[in-house]
Structure 1
Amino acid sequence: MKNPLLIKFDTLYSSAPFSKIKNAHFKPAFIEGIKIAKEEIDSITNNKNVPTFENTIEALEFSGQKLDTISRIFFNLNSAETNDEIQKIAQEVSPLLSEFSNDVTLNKDLFKRIHLIYDIKEDLNLTSEQEMLLTKKYKSFVRNGANLSEEKKIELRKIDAELSKLKLTFGENVLAETNDFELHLTTKKQLKGLPESVIEAAELTAKQKNKKGWIFTLDYPSYVPFMTYAEDRKLREKMSFAFGARAFKKNNFNNEQIVLDLVNYRYKRAVLLGYKSHAHFVLEERMAETPETVKLFLNDLLNKAKPAAKIEFNQLSEIAKLDGIQQIQKWDSAYYSEKLKKELFDLEEEKLKPYFKLENVINGVFQISNKLYNLNFEEIFTIDKYHEDVKTFKVTDTSGNYIAILYADFFPRKGKRNGAWMTSFKGQWKKDGENSRPHISIVCNFTKPTETKPSLLTFNEVTTLFHEFGHALHGMLANTTYPSLSGTNVYWDFVELPSQIFENWCYEKEALSLFAKHFETNELIPMELVLKIKKSSNFLEGIQTLRQLSFGILDMEWHGNNPTGIKNVKEFETLSFKNTQLYPDVIENCMSTSFSHIFQGGYSSGYYSYKWAEVLDADAFALFLEKGIFDKETARKFKSYILEKGGTEKPMKLYENYRGKKPDNTALLKRAGLIK
């Protein structure tokens, strides 16, 4: 039987043939994919002709495409539709991929050819994109050990193999702990304060598990509303404890040693390559450039946000005292925030939700993309999906040209990790006269429809959808020659600009009027609610900023120094949080053991980039506010200078081309209400 992963996809738009792919196909496909990729590398190094940009750099750039396709499909499923078998395969193939990656970057003959071309790049009359590709390839080899001695290359291989396994195990443990907990309630009294829609969803979860009553889980659509509305403080405490203790309990899923191993291996790797720390290694290829810049940036914002955060915290404490609570705790945070919001703005999340039916919000995202970037979205039912919940769309421009395929996966389930993300099953590139278009995917965890209600989003979930769709636009509108410079392949502290700027449209009346319609009456969201949303847009911004900064600081503490002396994860974390802490510490809880962004995802030494990109997005959106939020010329500039260009030029140059100036944090501080 032929392995569907190894033959050309004979499908519409060459989309992944999910229905034909079995778990058993993956490992053989990886082994064969690596073999093919190695043969492609050999054909470059065995080429007797003088090394040229075309026969070496371009040939290398387009090698390994079969392996890339297999990897994208497999690791996307491992995040969105995993099971024990897939996780076992991931543990088996990750070291093979790590070894192959080392085989490439430590290949002396290949590097020799790249080096020769790099040395004469000034004489080659390259385009700016070709020059960027050459520089990126050369630096990638140097930064991954090409100049090391043979002995040190062996050591690097061992470190990389360990790191690939540790990251996987970390993620598996967090997922197992998230799935393992359930709060099973059996009396109506325990549900006091919870909205009807939340109760209904919990009843459905219990039914699906063949139990009577109501079940709440640590998945965000269940956890967040419970923490926001449940009046029973003891139950909120129980939920909060469970969430904060994920992978921190004395069981088989404990991540403490894994965290220590990860930071030590990353440090060891950086030192081996001649860097002071993992953060020094990472930030060399970021807009920020150094850990010192990041620390200055975070501390500057901390000094501006902390006074506001303390005032807001005192407001929450005062409102909690009315219920006899002398010391507000973490499990009171969302509950009293909601009460305070109602008091200050007469605004309740539950009053907003009927205006944000998921289908309407998706339609709104599509209409806004059409007004800005001339895109059309048509749901299609002729390509394979990896789960029945997934929706698929063909994206075209207003002239009917095919732009991309979009997969959208919105609801939580057992084999899917928490949170929201954008990814791709196929990148974009130009070759042999053809512009090969991307297949983009957005994955979220929103409340599922119940027997009586459609999926209604909180406003926070609306902004999440817009955020991920901003990333998707970056991927879908990619228009570069080389895949490794296309779409979201940009500096990590630049990648959040397209996602975060897109959130701004959620707060604008002109945009809301396109999609914020009551799910039963179709009535447009009342103007007074729009004004309240706008007024509350920087509600508790001091506390929110402090929270984000605390994560960025923790990340830099783990990765910006020598970690070899750290023996206790919790003690180290507590020390890192000392300048940002508002709530009393919970000794049984630990953030680091479930901090997937930095220990499983790609955000190690990069968590600061959310705030960094907020500075960019506030400054960039200020131009839309000045010209009009649907101004065609501003949108054209953002599309052609930011969204289409990928990583073909330095981000600051792209930004200045769009904005006509360097960014500054004035717009962000004003928007956040931290300065007048």
Structure 2
Amino acid sequence: MNMLLKSFDTTHDTSPFAKIKNEDYIPAFDAAIADTKKEIDAICENPDPATFENSIEALSFSGMHLDRISNIFFNLHSAETNDELEKIAQEVAPKLADLSSDITLNEKLFERIKAVYDRKAELGLTQEQDTLLTKYYLDFVRNGALLPLDKKEELRKIDQELSVLKLHYGEHVLADSNAYQLHISKQEDLAGLPEGIVEAAHELAKEEGKEGWIFTLDYPSYIPFMTYADNRALRREMAIAAGKKAYQNNENNNTDIVLKIVNLRHQRAQILGYASHAHFILEERMAKDPETVKSFLGDLLAKGKPAALREFDELSAFAKELDGLDQLEKWDGSYYSEKLKQQRFNLDDEKLKPYFKLDNVLNGVFDIAHRLFGLNFKEVGTIDKYHPEVQTFEVRDDHGGLVAIFYADFFPRKGKRNGAWMTSFKPQYRLHGVNERPHVSIVCNFSRPTPTKPSLLTFNEVTTLFHEFGHALHGMLADTTYPTLSGTSVYWDFVELPSQIMENWCYEEEALKLFAKHYETGELIPMEYVEKIKESASFLEGLATVRQISFGMLDMGWHGQDPSAIKDLKAFENEQFAPTQIYPDVQENAMSPSFSHIFNGGYSSGYYSYKWAEVLDADAFDYFKQEGIFNPEVARKFKENILSKGGTVHPMELYKAFRGQEPSVEPLLRRAGLLD
């Protein structure tokens, strides 16, 4: 029995992970693709004149079975993959790309969409219906509906090739990440490392049947090693290993794939009549065009670089005084930053960790969501999981109504890619009078519990949890009719607002008091620590700002121009990084081969949106600060105008409805300590 081919007879229609077998996927995808084609054919062959209901609405609700299977499969492909799933992904990706092309290049379907679009002024549509109609019309035009047949076929081939290249890219990054281990056998090489990190490394070695300690490129292992290990040679080895993921002389090298992807994206944009891939992407962003993005990043760089250079000189002088270092290298940055932070603020992440037990932080973010948005989280054991470590929750409102299903997956595993992300297994939408509620998940890579300690988070991991939970709120509180406009289906440079604003509560005493309690004694975090957290929030912010800007500039470099003349990836990167370069270059390393956000995620021509959304989140949180961080009226406005509306209204209109004005950059510069 293939569970993916029938309705799920499960609690709240949740995904039946335990009953899905790997061999189920290909037949399920094939059947669901065939069903989707039938649904599209039914729209095209309808003898009645095209209307919003029989064409646009019907299209919006087509392919939902396929979307459900895709959500399950590709989420597992990121969080719980194996060789078999990777083979399936390579077989499925071109089929899905083909179907997408079949739909967007379907002339009969476009004729019906255009017929409705041409009459939209007289149809009396709601704002959401108007947005959906306009979105479909533009999606088809932007994907070649107006092109001649030969160009349509060219586009189809490019989309197929890109779908497979992106898969290979991600698999290579994961393979190189998993392949590297730093195996330490001498106790003295552990100098400086916190006890919990050493214990976790020893546990990993034991699991692998080895003596000593093993450190990996997984963030909970890599970041503490780079921050605390006194052995500079080993820090260098780790940093170079991380920086050459998918950029080594092996079968996982992504250099050619990067060049192929950027050239195919450019060719695609040119076929569609755009100057570059960035011009194509940014047409549907708040920023609108590459010039605006470059100007935005340039203005921030002008404000941030003087501070970054001062901070680098200060850090260099500190390292020279402490250890006689003549040149600060990339593998020294985190180490001496932490030492300087400890000296200046008497604040050590290791002192803070006992107050940030994962369970307490999770309950804290739940409590904050209750105070702001009236949400109640209850862990339940009746919902199937794709891995035993995943936690499952019912989310209800104060009247007991189901708001969402929430999955939380917190620890690194071999089949799980690095980083942290929010995703969904089922979107919110309304159909046949029923408001279908979403199934939302956050996936992170936090420090595991050890035999002697629970999972204790660094402050950075605390803000990561709040960040991803902000995305989850955007998905959970969605209240729209059409799945294509629901939750996080918004402009890419707006999607980070709900996530980034949530991080602000981590710095507020009133919020920290809810969850920052010592895991052994239950003692509340000392208020002097809270003050130090706030004081240190803008510590070395100039360097952090310039680093983020450099990633945005590299993204625009690849996608904002014709890349066909680029033959040497490393030389090109150096050229792009020149305006933001602070640390000396590391010859063996390159960023692009493992810059998954832009080559395997959705951020191509969009990495700037993290800084863009920081302007929004600083301005929005400034409003909360003025009225009170748990002010019910401000929270209601944020929920109703930002979190529930999805992509039904232009984001600037939503923002102004919440804030009463357009955002100002001043709160961000003030928060970052970059105002003169």
- TM value normalised by structure 1: 1.00
Q: Residue 251 of structure 1 aligns with which residue?
A: 250
Q: After the TM superposition, which residues 439-518 of structure 1 pair with which residues of structure 2 at under 5 Å, given as runs?
A: 439-518=439-518
Q: Residue 529 of structure 1 aligns with which residue?
A: 529
Q: After the TM superposition, which residues 243-642 of structure 1 pair with which residues of structure 2 at under 5 Å, given as runs?
A: 243-322=242-321, 323-642=323-642
Q: Residue 205 of structure 1 aligns with which residue?
A: 204
User: What secondary structure is seen at the aligned counterpart in 2 of 1:131?
Assistant: helix
Q: Residue 666 of structure 2 aligns with which residue?
A: 666
**How many angstroms does 1:141 deviate by?**
0.4
Distance 1:347 1:675 in 2: 24
Distance 1:553 1:294 in 2: 9
**How many angstroms does 1:428 deviate by?**
0.4
Q: Residue 35 of structure 1 aligns with which residue?
A: 34
User: What secondary structure is seen at the aligned counterpart in 2 of 1:258?
Assistant: helix
User: What secondary structure is seen at the aligned counterpart in 1 of 2:580?
Assistant: coil
**How many angstroms does 1:343 deviate by?**
1.3
Amino acid at match of 1:263: V
Distance 1:665 1:292 in 2: 18
Q: Give the root-mean-square deviation of aligned CA atoms.
A: 0.4
Amino acid at match of 1:36: D
Distance 2:483 2:342 in 1: 48
Amino acid at match of 1:547: R
Distance 1:23 1:570 in 2: 39
Query: Deviations along 1:397-443, whole A, 9 cap, x unmatched?
Result: 11111000000000000000000000000000011111000000000
Q: Residue 56 of structure 1 aligns with which residue?
A: 55
Distance 2:206 2:143 in 1: 52
User: What secondary structure is seen at the aligned counterpart in 2 of 1:9?
Assistant: coil
Amino acid at match of 2:420: A
Distance 2:99 2:485 in 1: 21
Amino acid at match of 1:229: Y
Q: Residue 181 of structure 2 aligns with which residue?
A: 182
Distance 1:78 1:430 in 2: 28
Amino acid at match of 1:630: F
Deviation above 2 Å: which 4+ runs of structure 1? none
Distance 1:207 1:379 in 2: 32
**How many angstroms does 1:324 deviate by?**
1.3
**How many angstroms does 1:6 deviate by?**
1.2
Q: Which moves more between the two structures, 313-322 or 588-597?
A: 313-322
Amino acid at match of 2:643: L
Q: Sequence identity, in percent? A: 65
User: What secondary structure is seen at the aligned counterpart in 2 of 1:423?
Assistant: strand
Distance 2:580 2:619 in 1: 26
Distance 1:178 1:151 in 2: 41
Q: After the TM superposition, which residues 73-222 of structure 1 pair with which residues of structure 2 at under 5 Å, given as runs?
A: 73-222=72-221
**How many angstroms does 1:319 deviate by?**
1.1
Amino acid at match of 2:131: M
User: What secondary structure is seen at the aligned counterpart in 2 of 1:184?
Assistant: strand
**How many angstroms does 1:3 deviate by?**
1.2
User: What secondary structure is seen at the aligned counterpart in 2 of 1:487?
Assistant: coil
**How many angstroms does 1:263 deviate by?**
0.1
Distance 2:291 2:26 in 1: 43
**How many angstroms does 1:260 deviate by?**
0.1
Distance 1:6 1:475 in 2: 26
Distance 1:194 1:262 in 2: 40
Distance 1:484 1:495 in 2: 15
Distance 2:612 2:170 in 1: 26
User: What secondary structure is seen at the aligned counterpart in 2 of 1:260?
Assistant: helix
Distance 2:522 2:7 in 1: 46
Distance 1:37 1:315 in 2: 60
Amino acid at match of 1:453: K
**How many angstroms does 1:344 deviate by?**
1.2
Query: Deviations along 1:67-108, whole A, 9 cap, x unmatched?
Result: 000000000000000001000100010000000000000000
Q: Residue 68 of structure 1 aligns with which residue?
A: 67
Distance 1:119 1:574 in 2: 49
Distance 2:372 2:180 in 1: 44
Query: Deviations along 1:226-248, whole A, 9 cap, x unmatched?
Result: 00000000000000010001011
Query: Deviations along 1:506-532, whole A, 9 cap, x unmatched?
Result: 000000000000000000000000000
Distance 1:543 1:5 in 2: 49
Query: Deviations along 1:456-514, whole A, 9 cap, x unmatched?
Result: 00000000000000000000000000101000000000000000000000000000000
Amino acid at match of 1:341: K
Q: After the TM superposition, which residues 226-237 of structure 1 pair with which residues of structure 2 at under 5 Å, given as runs?
A: 226-237=225-236
Distance 1:528 1:59 in 2: 58
**How many angstroms does 1:288 deviate by?**
0.3
User: What secondary structure is seen at the aligned counterpart in 2 of 1:381?
Assistant: coil
Distance 1:491 1:144 in 2: 17
User: What secondary structure is seen at the aligned counterpart in 1 of 2:535?
Assistant: helix
User: What secondary structure is seen at the aligned counterpart in 2 of 1:377?
Assistant: strand
Distance 2:29 2:674 in 1: 51
Query: Deviations along 1:42-88, whole A, 9 cap, x unmatched?
Result: 11011000110000000000000000000000000000000010001
Query: Deviations along 1:294-322, whole A, 9 cap, x unmatched?
Result: 00000000000000001110111011102
Amino acid at match of 1:606: G
Q: Structure 1: 5+ residue runs without aligned partners?
A: none
**How many angstroms does 1:187 deviate by?**
1.0
Distance 1:231 1:110 in 2: 64
Distance 1:211 1:268 in 2: 50
Distance 1:398 1:232 in 2: 53
Distance 1:201 1:18 in 2: 29
Amino acid at match of 1:661: Q
Distance 1:154 1:431 in 2: 35
Distance 1:166 1:208 in 2: 34
- TM value normalised by structure 2: 1.00
Distance 1:328 1:80 in 2: 36
Distance 2:586 2:88 in 1: 37
User: What secondary structure is seen at the aligned counterpart in 2 of 1:424?
Assistant: strand
Distance 1:550 1:6 in 2: 46
Query: Deviations along 1:305-362, whole A, 9 cap, x unmatched?
Result: 0000011101110111020110000000000000110111110010000000000000
Q: Structure 2: 5+ residue runs without aligned partners?
A: none
Aligned length: 675
